[in-house]
A and B are shown apart, each in its own frame.
Chain A
Amino acid sequence: MKKKLRDMVPPWTDGMAHLQICLAALIAPSLISLWIYYAELTEHLTICSIWTEGDRWVFPPGRMMHDFVTLLHGVWPLFWVPLVTAVILAAVNRHGFSQGSKAVYLMRRLPDRWEYPRRCFALPLLTLLLGMALTVLVLLACWGLYTHFTPEYAIPPNQWEKFWAGILPIVFPLV
């Protein structure tokens, strides 16, 4: 495991330290996201409901909970953390091979053609992919909390369509 990790980072770097950075960039934003979302959710539930029954809020007749996607505003920026970390890490790794020497010449003529890209991009790419997977998991968890605490009759219709309508401008801001 340690050797495998060592082969995934530039030779002069500490694989464990890189792994810790990547894990921190994955776990911390996920936990903070959930925490922020939970605070936002309970605040909205308090505003919209009249009282609670156990862990469920009771809504007055005709009043609806706010849309799921509107509760995610404080959460979106954190989903970019793994992406930004991955990009910075990849750039630093790549730059390192040309800093102080042209070790990039050595890397580019190694018999294993994947050695150089692996050492530059493997961990950042893994961080990016895990970040995407974690984003989906966190969103699922948020949706789970939303449906758990909100009575079914108070959930506004067309949440799925609204979710996509809300997420697309964030994922593709220039489109």
Chain B
Amino acid sequence: MLTLTNITKSYPGKKNAVENVSLSIPRGEIVGLFGENGAGKTTLMKCILGLHRYQGTITLDGQPLDRKNIEKLSFATSEHTFFPALTAKDHREFYADHFPAFRGKRFDALMEFFELPTNKKIGSFSTGQKNQFEVILALCQGADYILMDEPFAGNDVFNREDFYKVLLGILEPEETILLSTHLLEEVSAFIGRAILLHKGKVVADRSMLDLEEEGKDLMTFVKEAYRYKADRVLKALDKLTGEE
């Protein structure tokens, strides 16, 4: 269980990027983390990974997150965390050296599935291939909690679809995904829970089963949570055309 208690992250001279966030994410869940740009999704993930200093506590299975258990978390981000000048083969070696639970077989299978070259520098990959490779590394590190921050930014829709299917197919029951994305409709079919952030705060946290029982889809739920004004576009257009 990944437990966040009263996490607050502030930058000097700015409002809190994350404010009093408390969450519990049990093993085996696929959780969607949603929010507008600047809502605090990336900051929250970086706090979990220890890449940012923060106030509050984060524990993994009751233990504070430190070097002893940090390998149980992996991270895929659209910023990418691989070494551009190394090949996939070099990365395999590096990960195997540093992460004892590295899943070599899964790595090979995913590389083959996405037809990624193993002896080419990652820096020469297309954006889509880079994203795929980034996610492959996160999935193969051998982590129990896989944090993904906009991992498919720049991938085409078929590519993303493939990935969702593969993801569902390979994940083991203990593996947990925390996925931050703007692609609500695409991921709604396979996430089990949706957490909504707004201006650094959790504004909603619901399981997809609950939503289903209420007869709501993810988009409706998100719009409600954000008090989205459906008529704002029409009003704006009326105002603009009225002026002319």
Contacts and interface: CB of A to CB of B under 8 A. Distances in A.
B99 A111 contact: yes
A113 B67 contact: yes
Interface in B80-125: 80-86, 90, 94, 98-99, 123
Interface stretch (B18-26, B69-77, B195-203): B69-77
Interface in B101-151: 123
A111 B84 contact: no
A101 B71 CA distance: 20
B132 to A, nearest CB: 14
Nearest to A115: B98
A103 B80 CA distance: 7
A112 B75 CA distance: 17
B177 to A, nearest CB: 17
Interface in A101-122: 101-103, 105-106, 108-113, 115
B236 interface: no
Contacts of A101: 79-84
Contacts of B68: 111
B82 A103 contact: yes
A110 B71 CA distance: 7
B51 A111 contact: no
A109 B52 CA distance: 11
Contact of B83 (A11, A109, A112, A113): A11
A111 B70 contact: yes
Interface residues of A, number: 17
Given A11-B86, A12-B85, A113-B67, A105 B94 contact: no
A102 B85 contact: no
Contacts of B84: 12, 99-101, 103
B49 interface: yes
Contact of B81 (A11, A12, A99, A105): A105
B64 interface: no
A115 B71 CA distance: 14
A106 B84 CA distance: 13
Given A100-B84, A105-B51, A111 B67 contact: yes
Interface of B: 46, 49-51, 67-68, 70-71, 73, 75, 77, 79-86, 90, 94, 98-99, 123
Interface of A: 10-12, 99-103, 105-106, 108-113, 115
17 contacts: A10-B83, A11-B83, A11-B90, A100-B84, A100-B85, A100-B123, A101-B79, A101-B81, A101-B83, A101-B84, A102-B80, A105-B75, A106-B82, A111-B67, A111-B68, A111-B71, A112-B67
